[in-house]
Amino acid sequence: MTDPRTPTDEEQPPTDGGEAPTDEEQPPTDRPTVLVPLEVLEGESLPNGTPDLLANAHVVLLGYHVLPEQTATEQAREQFGETAMSKLGEFAGALEAVGATVEKRLVFTHDKQTTVDRLIYEYDCLAVLVPNSAERVESVLVAVRGTVSVDRIARLVAGLFAGTGTAVTLYHVLGEGETDADVETLLNGVRSKLVERGMDEDAVEILIEGTEAPVDAIAGHGEAHDAVIMGETNPSVTTFIFGMPAEQVAERFLGPVLVVQRERPDATDASAE
Amino acid sequence: MRPPGVIPPGMDAPDPPAAPDADPVPDADPDAVDADTGEGELERTIGLTGGLAIGIGTMIGAGIFVFPGLAAENAGPAASLSFAIGAVVALLVALPASELATAMPRSGGGYFFISRGLGTAPGAIVGLGLWLGLVFASAFYLVGLGSYAGQVFLEAGIALPVNPAVPLGVAFGVGLTALSLFGTENTASLQNGIVIVLLVILTLFLSYGGLDALGVFGAERTPERFFPPGGLLPVLQTAALVFASYLGFAQVATVAGDIKEPSRNLPLAMVASVLVVGVFYVATIFVATSAFGSARLGEFGETAMVEVAREFVGFPGAIAIVVAGLLATFSSANASILSASRAVYAVSRDDLIPSAASRLNLQYGTPHVALGLAGGPIVVLAATGQVELLAEVASFLHLVMYGLICVALIQLRREQPDWYAPSFRCPAGFAVAGAGALASFALIAFMQPASIGVGAAVMIASYGWYRYYAADVELKGDF
């Protein structure tokens, strides 16, 4: 695994090893790093259920505020920085209370995406949360697209839910030229990775289906679950017009969606040399 | 918890940025802005292209679409020399300004450098002067914009009872201010698009016109005598007048806090945008004066370029230039209004004016008071319709700032305070800054007495305000 860490981040616990000084009895390995972006000043708060979902995660809690380009970010920080920081502190408290390790970042920006991308790199985040509320976290739908991110999905799912009793359903939409057998092999592979990482074999189910519209299907199935985990999609013309599938799913499903990020290219360079 | 913004020593060392485009990677500089606040960090979102678009977009409106007629009337074909002189002065200032901007990448640009390098009194004069200078500049661009909007009616064959330039300019002033108050649109990408369209139209037009003027297509046109009857004096006076075409490069420094990799992108954006517009200006005058005699150009006034294009390419050419003129003056006016409001913010942050002036409106995220303080006087000045006076006063106030930027560089290099660690160093710093300061102040001497009077009055009033309101504020070396 690459460990893209910049010298600035010496206090930040690496995803695989090390521990945040703030925390007590968590095992020192394999806390998946999850980015939780919240638009703090627009009244966005930590949705219900988020602490339960991320209790075993290393949370990068990003409070952000988007400003129109005619406004200097400095100006907003001066006026709103303190308020935003204290709100962020409250949310961090709620997460820490259930055992998550938390790092707070507050950013004033002209472009949300730039900020989110920067922090994904900076912390090598395994997933980004689309924050929606959930009443409880008892079962989770995991959409597996292909072999590409399987390792990262397994690290996230096992990291979050191993030993919690949360039920996991691995789901795949049959593509052209794929047979049930192929896909079963794929999903069974994921299952054994999860079991290797400490999940209870009985807690993992498998669901395969052929359908025209994966986004609708995922959102539809999601309704029977409390949260959805899915992969990131490369931006394309379709995603430009209709939005990223993960966002579409989040809009219809209305519950929390964890978007597993691609492996980012090594990010050590710029400041390291 | 890592307090955001604490940077380990050595992080802000002037390392040459390695990978220009791979920059979701946090580099050292973003943190440099946030040091010691504990209240959040600031995302840098403007790249080199954005910086160039700000510089070019702010400048190109005036030199090509407003001045050619006036300049040619005053200086004949030698007006191209006037524009070249302006470019040299601007470059002499752009280099020292780049060094200062990389040492102090904060919003406020020239005001920030001068108040920190030379102290509160010069800072106050420049800060309030910059605000009003931009107000004058915006009003000037608005009158230009109004002229082009009026030209649309003319081309459409609609006769208007009065010259619509001033009323239309005023209307645009009100509209743009409202837009910047409520608009959350992505103005930067709009600006980038406008600049690209402009550069394409101008390149096509100037290449065609240039080749034609050199006799490639038809009969060679006979150029008139290069120097005007008065010799060098009118050329220098014209240089002082048209210097308003170069005010935009320092706008790049006013958004220094938003620029990614400032040590590389700031100097590049400032110097390159001056060079680009300088070349376009000189070429424009060459083409314009070879199409018509200077006196004739003068009669056409602000929209002389439309007639030049009509002469070369006929009606479609005229339309293309009208559209380009609208875009260019619009983007210049818009950029200047926004810069003026940032200038208000910068002086208010330092308690030189009441802090209420920099309040943000949480709903829209815009500084409504500062925008009002910019937009109000702009509209009033645009209503006067005094193009040359507005341009010269704007240049006067900017030139004072430019000269003092150069002085600040010299001062800071001599004192070498601890906090002064620029990541770009102006080559031959003392010589360039010395020449820049002399040239800036010298250019002022060639302005009309009325402009000098108004400019001096603004400076005196600014100083008076400082003595009355902010005499106890100490800004030198304050971070």
pLDDT tens digits, one per residue of B233-283: 999 999 999 998 998 888 888 788 888 888 889 899 999 999 999 999 999
Beta bridge partners of B40: none
Is A76:B363 a contact under the CB 8 Å cutoff?
A: no
Q: How many Cα atoms occupy the beta-carbon half-sphere of A80 within 13 Å? A: 32
Give B454's pLDDT tier (boundaries 50, 70, 90).
Answer: very high
Cβ atoms within 10 A of the Cβ of A268, count?
15
Whether pLDDT at B21 is above 50: no
The pTM of the whole model exceeds 0.90: no
Tell me how far apart the alpha carbons of residues A180 and A176 are, in angstroms, rounded to a whole number: 11
Helix (H, G, I), strand (E, B) or coil at A141: strand
DSSP 8-state code for residue A261: P
Query: Which pLDDT value is given to residue A53?
Result: 92
Which DSSP string do the residues of A47-68 spell out, in sequence order? Answer: PTTHHHHTTTSEEEEEEEEE--
Contacts of A9 in chain B (CB under 8 A): 2
| Cα–Cα–Cα angle for B322, B46, A107, rounded to 5 degrees | 135
The matching CATH number, chosen from 2.60.120.10, 1.20.1740.10, 1.10.3720.10, 3.20.20.140, for B49-469 is 1.20.1740.10
Of B347, B421, B344, the C-alpha closest to B120 is B347
Nearest-by-Cβ selection for A70 from B1, B39, B338 = B338
Q: Kindly report the nearest CA distance between residue A92 and chain B, in angstroms.
A: 10
In our burial notation (b when 16+ CB lie closer than 10 A, e otherwise), range B136-148 reads bbbbbbbbbbbbb
B313-338 average pLDDT score: 88
Give the tokens for residue B298.
């003068």
Helix (H, G, I), strand (E, B) or coil at A122: helix
Give B358's pLDDT tier (boundaries 50, 70, 90).
Answer: confident
| DSSP H or E run through A35 | strand A33-38
Is the pLDDT higher at B305 or at B477? B305
A175-179, B123-127, B219-223, B452-456: least confident range: B219-223
pLDDT tens digits, one per residue of B274-283: 999 999 999 9
User: A130 — phi, psi (to 5°)?
Assistant: -90, 105
Q: Kindly report the nearest CA distance between residue A135 and chain B, in angstroms.
A: 29
Q: Does A18 touch chain B (CB under 8 A)?
A: no
Query: Which pLDDT value is given to residue B179?
Result: 84
DSSP 8-state code for residue B219: S
Q: Kindly report the nearest CA distance between residue A252 and chain B, in angstroms.
A: 26
Whether pLDDT at B440 is above 90: yes
Tell me how far apart the alpha carbons of residues B319 and B297 are, in angstroms, rounded to a whole number: 18
Residue ranges of alpha helices (H) inside chain A are: 50-53, 73-97, 112-123, 150-161, 180-196, 214-222, 237-242, 245-253, 269-272
**Residues 6 or more apart from B262 whose CB is under 8 A from it?**
B29, B44, B101, B102, B105, B256, B423
Tell me how far apart the alpha carbons of residues B100 and B412 are, in angstroms, rounded to a whole number: 9
How high is the mean pLDDT of chain B? 84
Q: What single letter denotes the amino acid at residue A23?
A: D
**What are the strands, taking DSSP E only, across B340-412?**
none
Q: Kindly report the nearest CA distance between residue A63 and chain B, in angstroms.
A: 9
Burial class (CB in 10 A: 0-12, 13-18, 19+), B233: exposed
Cβ <8 Å between B257 and A12: no
Q: Which of A40-44, B123-127, B222-226 has the highest mean pLDDT?
A: B123-127
CA B78 to chain centre: 23
Tell me how far apart the alpha carbons of residues A238 and B69 are, in angstroms, rounded to a whole number: 49
| Cα–Cα–Cα angle for B168, B171, B173, rounded to 5 degrees | 110
Of A3, A73, A76, A72, the C-alpha closest to A41 is A76
Cβ atoms within 10 A of the Cβ of A207, count?
14
Cβ <8 Å between A75 and B358: yes
Contacts of B363 in chain A (CB under 8 A): none
Query: Which pLDDT value is given to residue B226?
Result: 77
Of B20, B21, B34, B6, the C-alpha closest to B257 is B34
Tell me how far apart the alpha carbons of residues A148 and A115 are, in angstroms, rounded to a whole number: 25
Taking only the tens of pLDDT, chain A with its 273 residues reads: 444 444 443 344 444 433 344 444 444 457 899 999 999 888 888 999 899 999 999 999 999 998 887 788 888 888 888 889 999 999 999 999 999 999 999 999 988 888 999 999 999 899 999 988 888 889 999 998 877 788 899 999 999 998 888 999 999 888 777 888 888 898 999 999 999 998 888 889 999 888 778 888 888 888 889 999 988 776 666 656 666 777 888 888 888 999 998 877 764 444 333
A238-242, B151-155, B314-318, B406-410: least confident range: A238-242
**Residues 6 or more apart from B229 whose CB is under 8 A from it?**
none
B105-133 average pLDDT score: 89
Is A256:A129 a contact under the CB 8 Å cutoff?
A: yes
pLDDT tens digits, one per residue of B75-103: 888 999 999 999 999 999 999 999 998 88
In our burial notation (b when 16+ CB lie closer than 10 A, e otherwise), range A84-98 reads bbebbeebbeebbee
Is the pLDDT higher at B39 or at B76? B76
Beta bridge partners of B73: none
Among all chains, which residue has been given the structure tokens 């959805």? A228
Give the tokens for residue B51.
């910086």
Pairing of strands A33-38, A58-66: parallel
Residue of B nearest to A104 (CA): B1
Query: Which pLDDT value is given to residue B190?
Result: 76
To the nearest 10°, the Cα dihedral for B11, B12, B16, B21?
80
Cβ <8 Å between B45 and A114: yes
**Residues 6 or more apart from A143 whose CB is under 8 A from it?**
A171, A172, A173, A214, A218, A228, A229, A230, A231
Beta bridge partners of A230: A259
Cβ atoms within 10 A of the Cβ of B184, count?
14
User: A106 — phi, psi (to 5°)?
Assistant: -120, 125
Residue of B nearest to A107 (CA): B41
Size of interface A-B (CB pairs under 8 A): 154
- Domains annotated for chain A, with CATH where assigned, are 25-125 (3.40.50.620), 139-260 (3.40.50.620)
pLDDT tens digits, one per residue of B62-77: 788 889 888 988 888 8
Q: Does A216 touch chain B (CB under 8 A)?
A: no
Q: Kindly report the nearest CA distance between residue B368 and chain A, in angstroms.
A: 10
ipTM exceeding 0.85, yes/no: no
Nearest-by-Cβ selection for A68 from B33, B184, B255 = B184
Terminal CA-CA length for chain B = 25
**What are the strands, taking DSSP E only, across B37-161?**
41-42
Nearest-by-Cβ selection for B40 from A7, A106, A269 = A106
Q: What single letter denotes the amino acid at residue A257?
A: V
Cβ atoms within 10 A of the Cβ of B220, count?
12
Q: Chain A 185-214, CB below 8 Å of chain B: which residues?
A: none
Q: Kindly report the nearest CA distance between residue B215 and chain A, in angstroms.
A: 47
Cβ <8 Å between A121 and B26: yes
Which DSSP string do the residues of A182-211 spell out, in sequence order? Answer: HHHHHHHHHHHHHHHTT--GGGEEEEEE--
Whether pLDDT at B432 is above 90: yes
Cβ <8 Å between A70 and B187: yes
Q: Chain A 79-108, CB below 8 Å of chain B: which residues?
A: 79-82, 84-85, 102-108
Of B309, B60, B64, B296, the C-alpha closest to B209 is B309
Q: Kindly report the nearest CA distance between residue A27 and chain B, in angstroms.
A: 19
Q: Does A118 touch chain B (CB under 8 A)?
A: yes
Tell me how far apart the alpha carbons of residues A36 and A259 are, in angstroms, rounded to a whole number: 11
Q: Chain A 37-76, CB below 8 Å of chain B: which residues?
A: 41, 63, 65-76
Whether pLDDT at B29 is above 50: no
Nearest-by-Cβ selection for A71 from B2, B19, B360 = B360
Give the tokens for residue B186.
């992505």
Helix (H, G, I), strand (E, B) or coil at A38: strand
Beta bridge partners of A227: A140
Q: Kindly report the nearest CA distance between residue A265 and chain B, in angstroms.
A: 10
Contacts of A79 in chain B (CB under 8 A): 358-360
Tell me how far apart the alpha carbons of residues B32 and B259 are, in angstroms, rounded to a whole number: 12
Chain A interface, mutation test: which of B15, B25, B359, most A Cβ atoms within 10 Å? B25
Residue of B nearest to A120 (CA): B24
Q: What single letter denotes the amino acid at residue A258?
A: L
Contacts of B362 in chain A (CB under 8 A): 41, 80
Question: Alpha-carbon torsion B326, B329, B333, B339, what sign?
Answer: positive
Q: Chain B 19-38, CB below 8 Å of chain A: which residues?
A: 19, 22-28, 31, 33, 37-38
Cβ <8 Å between A69 and B8: no
Q: How far, CA to CA in Å, does B106 sit from each of A13, B64, B116, B301, B472? A: 32, 31, 11, 39, 23
- The A139-143 sheet, strands edge to edge: A204-209, A167-173, A139-143, A227-231, A257-260, A127-130, A33-38, A58-66, A101-109, B41-42
Residue of B nearest to A117 (CA): B24
| DSSP H or E run through B199 | helix B187-213
Helix (H, G, I), strand (E, B) or coil at A257: strand
To the nearest 10°, the Cα dihedral for B399, B402, B403, B406?
-170
Give the tokens for residue B283.
């070429």
Q: Chain B 287-346, CB below 8 Å of chain A: which residues?
A: 338, 341-342, 345
Residue of A nearest to B346 (CA): A75
